[in-house]
A and B are shown apart, each in its own frame.
Chain A
Amino acid sequence: MEVQNYRDPELARRIAAKIREVTPQTGSFKFCHVCGTHEWTITHYGIRSLLPENVEVIAGPGCPVCIVPAAEIDESVQLAQKGMVMTCFGDLLRVPGSNGSLLDAKAQGADVRIVYSLTDAVEMARKEPEKEFVFFAVGFETTAPATAVEVLKAPPKNFSFLVAHRLIPPAMELLLGVGDLNIDGFIAPGHVSAIIGMKPYELFPRVYRMPTVVAGFEPIDVLMSLYMLMKQLKEKKPRLENEYSRVVKWEGNPKALELMDQAFTVTGGNWRGIGRLPDSAYKLRDELAEYDAHAKFGVKIEQGKDILLGCECHLVIIGKIKPDKCPMFMKACTPQKPVGACMVSSEGTCRVWAKAVATSKPLKP
């Protein structure tokens, strides 16, 4: 698959020129994406520098690691301290809980292991039947199907899940209610959409008159989606469009959706920096309780300390401020010594910006 075509600088310049052409000279326009990978593409390829002065792209709550509330990190730490082998993706290790991270627990002797894939964690549990393994299942709809596949396959008895999956559309809906954020359109996340399809976004143009374009992750994808959004605005015809048709089908991935429905129920969930959102989290169905670490080990922490004093993660997460407006950015809070969750994960907005600063890629605040 020739991905280079979607990085063609000549085509990029042409699309940027078209964006300029359709952008009205008066007024200002703000588009919001909700995916850490989109922020990476936009920052890495300097896409903001190609846009007219009055067009802004902001990052919403698109980092699934950043929005895991401290209480759920605390649960994972507690399980590790109780002697379970805690398995998770590398991004999660340093995310701060109320009293330290999984990395701190590991440093104090807990058995915390990074895995590339859930499959690896299940395999470990099979090889070490004398130990209890827990997988910290974090991620949006892109990641949740893997959890569904494994839990429904009857994993080994010494394996369970600490499920912290979240759903993206409720977070997008929340952003529309945030005072003075004034979003003019959504770039919807391509890989979440590969699973859930287009239908869950229908309400944005219909109910909120919000232009919405599902986009891929190459620079041409992002530029094209911005052009499509701008055109919709100009025509005053908000609609739902699919820029990423090579991957995203209207119906999404029916097989994945079916398995997710068998494995999970949808419930309210807490988001770091945001609070509780109705119908925004997956929970294992009651009949799968034997694989639910909450039920199996009686661990449930309701309240945690999400935001440390001085940290502005809660404003960065909803796109209210850019990372460099946080007084701690690259001073007290760096990738080497992160204070907030947005600086920890490689998909966190602060971390993406920190990397761009370090490599001097074009970056327009």
Chain B
Amino acid sequence: MCLAIPAHVMSVTGDKAQVDFGQNVLREVNVSLVEAKVGDYVLVHAGYAIQKLDEKDALETLSLWREILSAENQ
């Protein structure tokens, strides 16, 4: 039940935001737990955004791992 799904913030009105879960699956979610702006990715759990997703970190982490794996191979 701790499933949380990333979604793209399309618009924000007060505590509510319209988000896109991908392939145009749109839904209104509550964003009072995060500082969400249009364009952010948020992690949505049961209708509430519980955290922002750091896109830069996501990409950096992956390349870091690739690096570590290669470095440790040598």
In whole angstroms, what is the CA distance A246 to B43 when docked?
11
Asked if residues A246 and B46 are in contact (CB atoms below 8 Å), the reply is: no
Asked if residues A37 and B48 are in contact (CB atoms below 8 Å), the reply is: no
Q: Does A247 make an interface contact (CB < 8 A)?
A: yes
Which of A62, A192, A256 has most B Cβ within 10 Å? A256
Within 8 A of A (CB), among B30-48: 30, 32-34, 41, 43, 45-48
Contact with B along A49-82 (1 / 0, CB 8 A): 0000000000000111100000000000000000
Asked if residues B32 and A149 are in contact (CB atoms below 8 Å), the reply is: yes
Of the listed stretches A113-121, A171-179, A328-336, chain B binds: A113-121
A interface residues, how many (CB within 8 angstroms): 49
B interface residues, how many (CB within 8 angstroms): 31
For B65, the chain A residues whose CB sits under 8 A away are 11, 15, 220, 224
In whole angstroms, what is the CA distance A196 to B65 when docked?
25
Q: Does B69 make an interface contact (CB < 8 A)?
A: yes
Question: Told that A120-B47, A146-B47 touch, could you supply 10 new A-B pairs with CB distance under 8 A?
Answer: A116-B47, A118-B46, A118-B48, A119-B47, A143-B46, A145-B48, A145-B50, A146-B48, A246-B54, A246-B58
B contacts, CB < 8 Å to A: 1-4, 6, 8, 29-30, 32-34, 41, 43, 45-48, 50-51, 53-55, 57-59, 61-62, 65-66, 69, 72
Enumerate 11 A-B pairs (CB-CB under 8 Å) in ascending A order: A5-B59, A15-B69, A116-B46, A116-B47, A117-B30, A118-B48, A142-B4, A149-B33, A247-B54, A253-B34, A253-B50
A contacts, CB < 8 Å to B: 1-3, 5-6, 11, 14-15, 18, 35-37, 62-65, 89, 91, 116-120, 138-140, 142-143, 145-146, 149, 189, 191-192, 194-195, 220, 224, 245-249, 253, 255-256, 259, 345, 347
